[in-house]
Amino acid sequence: MSAVPRALPLPSGETLPAEAISSTGSQAASAEVIPFSIIEEFYKRPGKTLAARFFGVDPFDFWIGRFYVGLFGAISIVGIILGVAFYLYEGVVNEGTFNILAMRIEPPPVSQGLNIDPAKPGFFWFLTVIAATIAFVGWLLRQIDICLKLDMGMEVPIAFGAVVSSWITLQFLRPIAMGAWGHGFPLGITHHLDWVSNIGYQYYNFFYNPFHAIGITLLFASTLFLHMHGSAVLSEARRNITDQNIHVFWRNILGYSIGEIGIHRVAFWTGTASVLFSNLCIFLSGTFVKDWNAFWGFWDKMPIWNGIGQGVLAAGLALMGVGLVLGRARETLEPVDLHDEEYRDGLEGTIAKPPGHVGWMQRLLGEGQVGPIYVGLWGVISFISFFACAFIILVDYGRQVAWNPIIYLREFWNLAVYPPPTEYGLSWNVPWDKGGAWLAATFFLHISVLTWWARLYTRAKATRLGTHLAWGFASALSLYFVIYLFHPIALGNWNAAPGHGFRAILDWTNYVSIHWGNFYYNPFHMLSIFFLLGSTLLLAMHGATIVSTSKWKSEMEFTEMMAEGPGTQRAQLFWRWVMGWNANSYNIHIWAWWFAALTAITGAIGLFLSGTVITDWYTWGESIKIVAPMPPLEYWWQQFIFQ
């Protein structure tokens, strides 16, 4: 059901009654509620498809219930049916298993090159990949058809196209570039976990791949943005407040509020970019780079670290220092004075007053105001604690390189402050250079994140918002404290936690999987990855949908919840026709909040169980029969070793 703010001509030629029309959210409560099925009939019109434009006719230009078919929808359905049939035939008939979790659909062996022979292994992998590609591309073109019908922008097909490009990179571009289909992505619900795990070691620690690092960073950034946006909308919904409360809250917390259209643009860009960087990550592995550890050898050989380069670097740092010195400069709520909350003085006041204005941010994101920033007691404690943590880490880096500034900069990415060795257990009586620095830095980091949570909670209360963001941050803290506190305590030594440093984090991530017997078979890790990728997908879908309908102001989501305009109607109808069902402008943010929160919560559970309950996840997977059987000798990983 939807309260529609605009008169709509119905297919019968009649017009919705005037009393059903409302132009503002405040009037929506008195508007006549119109069934969404009537609204849908207004938009259901034949024509405007790609097939109709290029061929003059589209024989499948119709709906089955809520589901739009179209020529490319029909092609996708054929691809799906064939792909599933080929997949199951290979698994059930050729592999002889009815265990769908343990089915293994392998590409042809590397020794077979780019040849496809129906009588040799890998043929049904190839057929399945071709059928799936037809389904994916057809689905993409079907999305374009629906966008054309609804007069929307093309941001959603562009975002989905990025995902399709990943499939094509994995299954076609990279294998062709490497000269063998055997380098393609194997198919199987759990079998692909072996490929994901082993490919990292094939290229000598895949975590050192810079494009992998960027892609993973963007995935987590997408989850963060999704949670921030979902929390903001839910905090405002069903409360007697306005968008200005949200803007004041974000400026209090971060010094900047990105605004309604800005967050959806960033959502679209971040979600899409995470996929494109992942494409580079895998395509370059094996084609151009065979050892990601050795790849970084160029860094130490850069001229800037030797001779005249050191002088240039030192002079540049000195000038930078001079520049920094010279340039520093549902409940009943009582009404709140937002101006007072944003411009008050004292410890519980704000800084950066009057606010600045950044032109390029206004043009790019729709909001250019920067500041004021709320300080407050919790903020002061959080900032000081974080500074103490960073100071301890950076000073210890200096001790490790004997205070040599050139070596400090050159080795910055390798330097780390590590936890105490295993023999110290959970003791706090540890020498500074053997883990004492890590204990001190981590203690201050704990204080910083806890007081930051308090800052989020108290500012939400002060600006009359819900506390969704604070509790969302608490879900992230559950993973943080399992990593740095609860898991090490359960195992009886601080050494189970990661060190503080860029490389230390990457090595710890790699070590966790090795130490606990292929972490990818941990079901809570599977769930965490599902929610992580799902969060990125949701962010890209939602951001792209809103940007593509923003000419009707669909980004004004709080207003649209009370009185849906043509932009929100089109957004809902797009997904209704694509998937057969749709979320609305309220519950899509509930999905957003929970997907992002469960990313951290399930990850925390999975890590805590490792070593405490389950010591080898691969063996556990074998015990419950979800591990694919060992492949024939020609598929063993020796085939991927570079000669």
What pLDDT digit, counting tens, does each position of 34-48 carry?
777 788 888 898 999
* Mean pLDDT across the chain: 87
Share of the chain above pLDDT 90, in %: 63
Q: What does the alpha-carbon distance between residue 140 and residue 271 come to, in Å, rounded to a whole number? A: 17
In whole angstroms, what is the distance from residue 102 CA to residue 87 CA? 12
Q: Which residue has the tokens 């209360």?
A: 461
521 vs 194: which has the higher pLDDT:
521
**DSSP code of 401?**
T
- Give the mean pLDDT of 254-259: 91
pLDDT of residue 224: 94
- Residue 335 predicted with pLDDT over 70: no
**Amino acid 161: pLDDT:** 97
> Which amino acid, one-letter code, is at 504?
A
Mean pLDDT along residues 405-433: 95
pLDDT value at residue 312: 64
User: Range with the lowest mean pLDDT among 202-216, 351-365, 549-563?
Assistant: 351-365
Q: Does the structure show a pLDDT above 60 at 4?
A: no
Q: Quick one: DSSP state of residue 106?
A: P
- Sequence-distant (6+) residues with CB within 8 A of 537 are 271
Long-range contacts of 298-303 (CB under 8 A, 24+ apart): 299/410, 299/413, 300/410
The mean pLDDT value for 405-423 works out to 95
What distance in Å separates the CA atoms of residue 526 and residue 193, rounded to the nearest whole number? 10
Least confident of 41-55, 148-162, 528-542, 601-615: 41-55
Phi, psi for 154 (deg, rounded to 5): -100, 20
State the Cα–Cα distance between residues 452 and 458, nearest whole angstrom.
Answer: 10
Per-residue model confidence (pLDDT) at position 14: 43
Q: By C-alpha distance, which of 390, 169, 388 is closest to 281?
A: 169
Instruction: List all residues 6 or more positions away from 374 whose beta carbon is below 8 Å from its beta carbon.
Output: 251, 252, 253, 341, 349, 350, 455, 459
User: For residue 578, which of 64, 43, 67 has the smallest C-alpha distance?
Assistant: 67
- Alpha carbon 32 to its chain centroid, in Å, reads 40
- Rounded to 10°, the helix 260-287/523-548 angle is 130
24 pLDDT more than 60: no
547 has pLDDT over 50: yes
For the segment 221-250, what is each residue's pLDDT rounded down to a tens digit?
999 999 999 999 999 887 888 888 898 899
First to last CA, the chain: 65
Confidence of residue 308 (pLDDT cuts 50, 70, 90): low
Mean pLDDT of 597-602: 97
Q: Per this entry, what is the length of the chain?
A: 643
Cis previous bond, 523, omega within 30: no
Least confident window among 199-203, 379-383, 412-416, 508-512: 199-203
Integer Cα distance of 355 and 576 in angstroms: 43
Q: How confident is the model at residue 10 (pLDDT cuts 50, 70, 90)?
A: very low
Residue-level pLDDT at 639: 60
User: Please, are residues 2 and 569 in contact by the beta-carbon 8 Å criterion?
Assistant: yes
Q: Which of 557, 547, 548 is nearest to 584 (CA)?
A: 557
Report whether 87 contacts 128 (CB < 8 A): yes
Q: Which helix (H) or strand (E) holds 560?
A: helix 557-562
Q: Does the pLDDT at position 533 exceed 70?
A: yes
Domains of the chain: 1-43 (no CATH), 56-189 (1.20.85.10)
Q: Which residue has the higher pLDDT, 303 or 10?
A: 303
DSSP letter assigned to residue 200: H
Residues 6+ apart with CB under 8 A from 203: 209, 285, 286, 289, 290, 291, 292
Higher-confidence residue: 114 or 18?
A: 114
Long-range contacts of 110-116 (CB under 8 A, 24+ apart): 110/180, 110/182, 110/183, 110/639, 110/640, 111/180, 111/182, 111/634, 111/639, 112/180, 112/181, 112/182, 113/179, 113/180, 113/181, 114/175, 114/176, 114/179, 114/180, 114/181, 116/181
DSSP string, 510-532: HHHHHHTT-GGG-HHHHHHHHHH
Q: What is the mean pLDDT of residues 137-146?
A: 97
Structural contact between residues 540 and 267, judged by C-beta atoms closer than 8 angstroms: yes
Read off the tokens for 508.
């710890």
Determine the average pLDDT of the residues in 268-295: 94
User: Among 8-22, 175-189, 370-384, whose mean pLDDT is lowest?
Assistant: 8-22
Residues 359-406 have pLDDT tens digits of 888 888 888 888 888 888 999 999 999 999 999 999 999 999 999 999
| Residue 350's pLDDT band (cuts 50, 70, 90) | confident
Hey, is 412 helix, strand or coil?
Answer: coil
Element (DSSP H or E) covering residue 64: strand 63-64
pLDDT > 50? residue 3: no
